[in-house]
Amino acid sequence: MVCLGNICRSPLAEGIFREKAKEHGLKVKVDSAGTSAYHEGERPDRRSQQVGRKHGIDISQQRSRRFTKEDFAAFDRIYVMDIHNYEDVIALASTPEEEQKVDLILNIIHPGENRTVPDPYYDGHDGFEHVFKMLEDSCEIIVKEMLAQKPKN
What residues are labeled active site? Answer: 3, 9, 119
Using CB under 6 A, which of the segments 4-12, 50-58, 70-78, 134-142 binds ligand 4NP? 4-12
Please pick, from the candidates 4, 16, 51, 134, the single residue that binds ligand 4NP as defined by CB under 6 A: 4
Helix 125-149, helix 46-54: angle, nearest 10: 60
Q: Collapse the DSSP code of 44 into the 3-class scheme (helix H, G, I; strand E, B; otherwise coil) and give the result.
A: coil
Report yes or no: 81 and 41 within 8 Å, Cβ to Cβ. Answer: no
Using CB under 6 A, which of the segments 3-11, 22-30, 49-57, 139-147 binds ligand 4NP? 3-11
Residue 102 DSSP code = E
Please pick, from the candidates 42, 92, 99, 121, the single residue that binds ligand 4NP as defined by CB under 6 A: 121
* Residue in the shown chain whose Cβ atom is closest to ligand 4NP: 5
> Binding pattern to ligand 4NP, positions 36-75, x when CB under 6 A?
--x-------------------------------------
Q: Could you give the CA distance from residue 142 to residue 117 in angstroms, rounded to a whole number?
A: 16
Residue 35 DSSP code = S
Residues pairing with 78 in the sheet = 102
Using CB under 6 A, which of the segments 7-15, 17-25, 51-59, 108-116 binds ligand 4NP? 7-15
Q: How far is the CB of 38 from ligand 4NP (least distance, A)?
A: 5
Q: Could you give the CA distance from residue 127 to residue 82 in angstroms, rounded to a whole number?
A: 15
Closest CA to 2 of 130, 88, 96, 70: 88
**Which spans of this chain sit near ligand 4NP (rule: CB under 6 A)?**
3-9, 38, 119, 121
